[in-house]
């Protein structure tokens, strides 16, 4: 079983910055993709940013130029650096990881961390 634990959410003023972290634990053979999704109140969960094979980055149009996804392969941790935050960035941010563990493939979600952008 693979477990994802997120941290770093909170309340920030518009224009501010936050960094989210997501650490994967378990008997992990490899992680192909790690990324972040978010869900605003009353809306569906949407992709924010993903990092595949440690190289290929994909961002939602709404966050391009403001958010950066990165990964520490040794720590099995993915980060999301968020800058120039806007009220529309408010929501619960979920970490996702896909890869192989001791018994096969996994596609796992974290429990979510709240990000609120408000003055």
Cα-based angle 52, 58, 61 (whole degrees, multiple of 5): 165
Torsion of CA 104, 60, 17, 8, to 10 degrees: -20
**What pLDDT digit, counting tens, does each position of 47-91 carry?**
999 999 989 999 999 999 999 999 999 999 999 999 999 999 999
Q: Please state, in angstroms and rounded to a whole number, the distance separating the CA atoms of residues 101 and 28.
A: 4
**What pLDDT digit, counting tens, does each position of 84-118 carry?**
999 999 999 999 999 999 889 999 999 999 999 99
Q: Please state, in angstroms and rounded to a whole number, the distance separating the CA atoms of residues 84 and 100.
A: 35
Strand 91-101 to strand 113-117: parallel, antiparallel, or no bridges (unpaired)?
A: antiparallel
Is residue 17 within 8 A of residue 85, CB to CB? The reply is yes
Q: Please state, in angstroms and rounded to a whole number, the distance separating the CA atoms of residues 84 and 101.
A: 37
pLDDT tops 90 at residue 31: yes
């Amino acid at each position: 079983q693979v477990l994802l634990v997120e941290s770093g959410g909170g309340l920030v003023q518009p224009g501010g910055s936050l960094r989210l972290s997501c650490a994967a634990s378990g008997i992990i053979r490899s992680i192909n993709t790690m990324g972040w999704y978010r869900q605003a109140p009353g809306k569906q969960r949407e992709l924010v940013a993903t990092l595949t094979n440690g190289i290929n980055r994909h961002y939602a149009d709404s966050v391009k130029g403001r958010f950066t996804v990165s990964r520490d392969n040794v720590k099995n941790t993915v980060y999301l650096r968020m800058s120039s935050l806007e009220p529309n960035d408010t929501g619960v941010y979920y970490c996702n990881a896909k890869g192989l563990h001791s018994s096969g493939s996994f596609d796992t979600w974290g429990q979510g961390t709240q990000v609120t952008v408000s003055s």
